[in-house]
Amino acid sequence: MNTSSSILSETLSVDKKESQNKSHGESHSDDLVGTATEEIGGGSNDGAVAVARTLRIATPRVFTSFLIPARYKGAYGGRGSGKSHEFAKNTVVKCLSAPGTRGVCVREVQKSLKESVKRLVEDKIRALDVEYGFGIFHDHIVTPGRGVLLFQGLQDHTAESIKSLEGFDFAWAEEAQTMSHRSLEFIRPTIRKPGSELWFSWNPRSASDAVDALLRGPNPPPGAVVVQANYADNPFFPNELEAER
Ligand SMILES: Nc1ncnc2c1ncn2[C@@H]1O[C@H](COP(=O)(O)OP(=O)(O)OP(=O)(O)O)[C@@H](O)[C@H]1O
Ligand SMILES: [Mg+2]
């Protein structure tokens, strides 16, 4: 598989003050072993206000298969393997590269937003230095081109209320090992827009859990991209976690 760079063709228009032709990378780690680089946009200045900007974002090699579209994308593995950061980054990149993107970040139970990945996504927006395109509100994030990111607990949904998510471009289920069969069967047909994607990140605990049965069972959906990641695959693995191993 080609694990080198991937070019996303969308051009980002940014305020001129933002356009210092900087190269942005959340970790400046383009040269880290085990990373690839993806780029959004080009580098030319087309006038007084709108300019294009290039983002250079390091992707751990273990996750480079997520750079191409797939209906199902799953990352499973042990603590600290970079799964949550990877999908948080992909959330922001998707919103930047396809204006108007609507995404929902779900978990089985979400008693408060503090339990959601909202803070992580916000941090990722800041780390990538793309705040100008996003609006951060109490319970949602407005994305470039009037899109939106929502953060919801699947257990709070009924068969009727889940339909509010039809027309969404992607759903990311975090801690997906806790997802019930009911919730999985709710979300799969709901995310039905052409080209829409379902993402799952989880720490496996039982082969009979719904996400494991779907993505690691004998008959995964055709074209599903499922990746096992462990701490050694995480080029950003922090010293604090090393000490806890
Ligand atoms: N793209 C990244 N940029 C910066 N730091 C990162 C990145 N990916 C991972 N890290 C670092 O590695 C740590 C572990 O990553 P992350 O929380 O995504 O792992 P995880 O697989 O979701 O772990 P868990 O199973 O415990 O939820 C993070 O706390 C962060 O310090
Ligand atoms: Mg995590």
pLDDT 10s digits, 63-118 = 999 999 999 999 999 999 999 999 999 999 999 999 999 999 999 999 999 999 99
- Residue range(s) defining the domain that contains residue 113: 61-244
Surrounding residues of ion ligand 2, Cβ less than 5 A? 84
Q: Establish if 32 belongs to a structural domain.
A: no
pLDDT at 12 over 50: no
Ligand 2: centre distance to CA 76 (Å): 10
Q: Establish if 50 belongs to a structural domain.
A: no
pLDDT for residue 134: 97
pLDDT for residue 8: 35
139 CB neighbour count, 10 Å cutoff? 10
pLDDT band at 6 (very low <50, low <70, confident <90, very high): very low
Encoded tokens for 154: 């699947």
Q: Establish if 6 belongs to a structural domain.
A: no
pLDDT for residue 36: 61
pLDDT band at 23 (very low <50, low <70, confident <90, very high): very low
Interatomic CA distance for residues 115 and 118, integer angstroms = 8
97 CB neighbour count, 10 Å cutoff? 18
Q: Establish if 113 belongs to a structural domain.
A: yes
pLDDT band at 27 (very low <50, low <70, confident <90, very high): very low
Let me know: does 63 contact 227? Beta carbons within 8 Å: yes
Distance of CA 71 to the CA centre of its chain: 13
Note the residue count of the chain: 245
Per-residue pLDDT tens digits for 124-175: 999 999 998 899 999 999 999 999 999 999 999 999 999 999 999 999 999 9
Interatomic CA distance for residues 155 and 181, integer angstroms = 11
Interatomic CA distance for residues 132 and 153, integer angstroms = 28
- Beta bridge pairs of residue 93: none
CA-60 nearest atom, ligand 1: 1
Let me know: does 24 contact 55? Beta carbons within 8 Å: yes
Mutate which of 38, 172, 231, 234 to test ligand 1's pocket (most atoms within 8 Å of Cβ)? Answer: 234
Q: Establish if 35 belongs to a structural domain.
A: no
Considering only 3-17, 116-130, 206-220, which range has the smallest mean pLDDT?
Answer: 3-17
CATH code of the domain covering residue 158? 3.40.50.300
Phi/psi at 80 (5° precision): 75, 20
Q: Establish if 27 belongs to a structural domain.
A: no
Q: Establish if 16 belongs to a structural domain.
A: no
Ligand 1 environment, Cβ below 6 A:
26-27, 79-85, 89, 203, 234, 236-238
Select from 16, 13, 88, 145 the least CA-distant residue to 135. Answer: 145
Higher pLDDT pick, 14 / 139: 139
Phi/psi at 210 (5° precision): -55, -45
Phi/psi at 220 (5° precision): -65, 160
pLDDT at 2 over 70: no
90 CB neighbour count, 10 Å cutoff? 23
Q: Establish if 174 belongs to a structural domain.
A: yes
pLDDT for residue 37: 63
pLDDT for residue 241: 86
191 Cβ neighbours under 8 A, 6+ residues apart:
165, 166, 168, 170, 171, 197, 198
Number of structural domains found in the chain: 1
Let me know: does 233 contact 61? Beta carbons within 8 Å: yes
Please report the DSSP string for 185-197 in residue order: HHHHHH--STT-E
pLDDT for residue 33: 40
Amino acid at 173: A
